[in-house]
């Protein structure tokens, strides 16, 4: 079955949604989107309303314009991150038999204020630039090794050779998990990524496996702290109480979900652009100090996450009537390609003045790992440019993509002269 044929069935338009706000867009399987996601996004930005409703995937709102995303991201009273309300989740968990294995929850990403801050605050220090800078040398060493492994071959499938192993190794290093867990975590990442259905039972089982794979180390670090994030997490307090095993597992699962696929896809989108823009490669090789500007502009031009929200009350948002219980997607890639915010938004411009992108979102849920992500992206670009001659997309094997909450590069075949 091709991806195009997997487009979900359309549901009927609710009465309060005017025809003029409907745009037929399947964020998982839209055929033009999975062929070339950001090309399709530019098409949407040019032709769809800044807030639109799609009948696909059960019917939901899409915040397409920059202003809509920016405002909705900050308005947590109207747009909740709790797809199932917190009290309901806790009540379900409390009613389970006492011997039920712990069901990890990715707190704080799916919590609203005030609970959100209780779980976010302990992580702030953990992700400070100071903690992350300690990892820089080992990230560079790893990126260099991965590039060196393919350099003599004249070609590689970039996602499996570099984009995917790098963040997994960084995750293990950062949390202080043993390197022997590499194969196990790679397999868990693959399982996590290949699961397209949001069916709760299978998601719970997958997250339990992630938590189980770190349990021995988590307990070991409680008794013998080291210089890693698991040890730090044992020292923080959540709302005035010491952390427990379950909290550390929740955080571990959160970082697994939030920090692996995202970095991998960010690297994929960025390197795909570089592989198509040879003058940019030449410029960056000549002036490596410009790589950090390139990293920012690549994040803007190819913003790739689509965080979901639940409409928490009936409201009129930017002139649009929404009803409690509906779903709304913060379509951040559309925000960062909005020409009202970024002139010539479809162009890659190394030096853009002023306007920050919202690839890491805005508001209370703004990405906690953005500093780490930037370090990883910068280093990969630098090491690709330093370790390989001009690399290009293999003309015989075009890149393949998938849609979803993290728009991803599935395969990216690169070639270069040996």
Angstrom CA distances, 193 to 261, 320, 415, stand at 8, 34, 26
Specify the 3-state DSSP secondary structure of 36.
coil
The residue (of 265 and 281) whose beta carbon lies closer to ligand HEM is 265
The residue (of 30 and 261) whose beta carbon lies closer to ligand HEM is 261
239: left (phi over 0), alpha (psi -120 to 50) or beta: left
For residue 207 the two structure tokens come to 């997250």
Beta strands in 184-228 (DSSP E): none
The residue (of 255 and 294) whose beta carbon lies closer to ligand HEM is 255
Query: Cis peptide leading into 281, omega within 30 of 0?
Result: no
The residue (of 21 and 263) whose beta carbon lies closer to ligand HEM is 263
**CB of 178 within 8 A of CB of 218?**
no
Distance CA 44, CA 9 (A): 20
Smallest separation (angstroms) from ligand HEM to the CB of 111: 7
Distance CA 74, CA 210 (A): 31
Smallest separation (angstroms) from ligand HEM to the CB of 370: 6
The residue (of 330 and 415) whose beta carbon lies closer to ligand HEM is 330
Q: Which residue is nearest to ligand HEM (CB)?
A: 369
**CB of 268 within 8 A of CB of 408?**
yes
The residue (of 55 and 326) whose beta carbon lies closer to ligand HEM is 326
Smallest separation (angstroms) from ligand HEM to the CB of 368: 4
For residue 336 the two structure tokens come to 């960062």
For residue 266 the two structure tokens come to 């960010």
Q: Which residues bind ligand HEM (CB under 6 A)?
A: 81, 108-109, 120, 254-255, 258-259, 262-263, 266, 305, 307, 332, 359-361, 365, 367-369, 372-373
Smallest separation (angstroms) from ligand HEM to the CB of 93: 20
The residue (of 115 and 318) whose beta carbon lies closer to ligand HEM is 115
Write phi, then psi, for 179 (nearest 5 degrees): -60, -25
Smallest separation (angstroms) from ligand HEM to the CB of 154: 28
Smallest separation (angstroms) from ligand HEM to the CB of 203: 16
Smallest separation (angstroms) from ligand HEM to the CB of 266: 3
> 261-276 and 245-259 are packed helices; what angle lies between their axes, rounded to 10 degrees?
20
């Amino acid at each position: 079955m091709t991806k195009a044929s997997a487009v979900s069935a359309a549901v009927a338009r609710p009465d309060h949604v005017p025809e003029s706000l409907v745009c037929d867009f399947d964020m998982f399987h839209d055929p033009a989107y999975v062929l070339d996601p950001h090309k399709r996004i530019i098409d949407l930005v040019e032709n769809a309303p800044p807030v639109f409703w799609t009948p696909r995937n059960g019917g939901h709102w899409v915040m397409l314009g920059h202003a809509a995303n920016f405002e909705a991201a900050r308005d947590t009273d109207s747009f909740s991150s709790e797809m199932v309300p917190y009290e309901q989740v806790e009540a379900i968990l409390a009613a389970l038999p006492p011997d039920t294995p712990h069901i990890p929850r990715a707190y704080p990403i799916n919590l609203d204020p005030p609970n959100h801050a209780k779980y976010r605050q302990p992580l702030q220090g953990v992700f400070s630039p100071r903690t992350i800078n300690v990892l820089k040398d080992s990230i560079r060493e790893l990126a260099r090794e991965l590039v060196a492994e393919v350099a003599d071959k004249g070609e590689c499938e970039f996602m499996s050779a570099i984009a995917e192993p790098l963040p997994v190794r960084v995750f293990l290093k950062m949390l202080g998990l043993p390197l022997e867990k590499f194969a196990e975590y790679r397999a868990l990442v693959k399982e996590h990524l290949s699961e397209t259905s949001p069916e709760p039972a299978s998601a719970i089982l997958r997250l339990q496996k992630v938590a189980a794979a770190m349990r021995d180390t988590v307990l070991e670090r409680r008794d013998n702290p080291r210089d890693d994030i698991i040890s730090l997490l044992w020292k923080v307090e959540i709302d005035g109480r010491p952390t427990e095993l379950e909290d550390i597992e929740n955080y571990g699962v959160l970082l697994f979900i939030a920090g692996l696929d995202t970095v991998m896809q960010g690297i994929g989108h960025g390197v795909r652009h570089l592989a198509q823009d040879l003058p940019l490669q030449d410029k960056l090789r000549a002036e490596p100090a410009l790589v950090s500007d390139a990293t920012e502009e690549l994040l803007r031009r190819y913003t790739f996450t689509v965080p979901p929200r639940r409409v928490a009350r009936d409201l009129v948002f930017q002139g649009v009537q929404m009803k409690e219980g509906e779903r709304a997607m913060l379509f951040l890639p559309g925000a960062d390609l909005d020409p009202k915010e970024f002139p010539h938004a479809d162009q890659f411009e190394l030096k853009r003045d002023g306007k920050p992108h919202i690839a890491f979102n805005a508001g209370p849920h703004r990405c906690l790992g953005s500093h780490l992500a930037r370090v990883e992206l910068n280093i990969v670009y630098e090491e690709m440019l330093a370790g390989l001659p001009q690399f290009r997309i293999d003309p015989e094997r075009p890149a393949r993509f998938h849609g979803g909450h993290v728009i991803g590069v599935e395969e990216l075949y690169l070639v270069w002269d040996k």
